[in-house]
């Protein structure tokens, strides 16, 4: 599944490159104001931080919500207390687009993540050209050399890489890369099964000073509390926020992760 999603995302990027050459995207990226300070926005605190996701669909769950106005959805997240916004830009299975990303970056004052299956420099430059402050890199989907090159390019453009892992071996790769923002995704991208306890089993491998992000398997406030108790600084949430009242749901999730006893501090 991951290989198919990555191949499709790269194919779509190559199609866009025919209409908008790399040189044009480079100029647009260079013309953007500096990316926002992600480390400050997501720094560990007594209250868990939340990256709230604009997500219309997924391969595992199908259609979730229409979201005709992604910028409005992101603005509601900002009102609800999110610390950053994630925008799924993959077109085929998630129903997203770069237009969604650009609309969101123009509306909110929070850091914005381009969530996609990024495997080429063109996709990274597209992210910055659309105003993204962060870009996702999935260790499982990239050869080590490509992962290192894309990580370096994201940093060179002033953005922050969110390096996503699913196993201890992938986590070691992210650490060796020098990643300062590491995600552990509870969803197996080969089978799409969920393991909410995966984060807790891996978190002790993450060095002090690295911001720890728990991804997936969050539907109720207790899930946020579970991740927070395990040591998460940040929780990335999508489905639960697009299928209910985003402001009220966010506030309940934040309250569940608001305590001093976390190992994250």
Which positions are catalytic?
53, 55, 115, 164, 185, 215-216
Residues 117 and 150 sit within 8 Å (Cβ to Cβ): no
What is the DSSP code (8-state) at residue 237?
A: E
Instruction: For residue 142, give Cα distances in angstroms to 12, 165, 168.
Output: 17, 11, 16
Query: Do 105 and 126 touch, CB atoms closer than 8 A?
Result: no
Instruction: Check: CB of residue 71 under 8 Å from CB of residue 84.
Output: no
CB-based contact 141:117 (threshold 8 Å): yes
Q: How many CB atoms lie within 10 A of CB 251?
A: 15
- Residue 117 phi, psi dihedral angles, 5° rounding: -95, 80
């Amino acid at each position: 599944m991951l290989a198919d999603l990555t191949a499709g995302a790269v194919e779509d990027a190559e199609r866009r490159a025919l209409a908008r050459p790399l040189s044009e995207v480079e100029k647009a990226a260079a013309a953007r104001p500096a990316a926002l300070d992600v480390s400050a926005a997501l720094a560990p605190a007594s209250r868990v931080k939340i990256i709230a996701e604009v997500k219309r669909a997924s391969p595992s769950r199908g259609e979730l919500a229409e979201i005709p106005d992604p910028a409005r959805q992101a603005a509601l997240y900002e009102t609800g207390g999110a610390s950053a916004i994630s925008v799924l830009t993959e077109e085929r299975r998630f129903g997203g687009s770069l237009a969604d990303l650009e609309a969101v970056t123009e509306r909110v004052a929070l850091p914005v993540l381009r969530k996609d299956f990024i495997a080429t420099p063109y996709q990274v430059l597209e992210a910055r050209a659309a105003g993204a402050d962060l870009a996702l890199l999935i260790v499982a989907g990239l050869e080590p050399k490509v992962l290192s090159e894309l990580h370096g390019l994201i940093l060179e453009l002033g953005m922050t890489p969110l390096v996503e892992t699913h196993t201890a071996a992938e986590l070691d790769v992210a650490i060796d890369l020098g990643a300062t923002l590491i995600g552990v995704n509870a969803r197996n991208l080969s089978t799409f099964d969920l393991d909410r306890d995966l984060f807790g089993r891996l978190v002790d491998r993450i060095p002090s000073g690295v911001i720890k992000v728990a991804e997936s398997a969050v539907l109720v406030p207790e899930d946020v509390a579970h991740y927070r108790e395990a040591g998460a600084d940040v929780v990335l949430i999508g489905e639960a926020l697009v299928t209910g009242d985003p402001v009220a749901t966010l506030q309940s999730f934040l309250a569940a992760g608001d305590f001093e006893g976390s190992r994250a501090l």
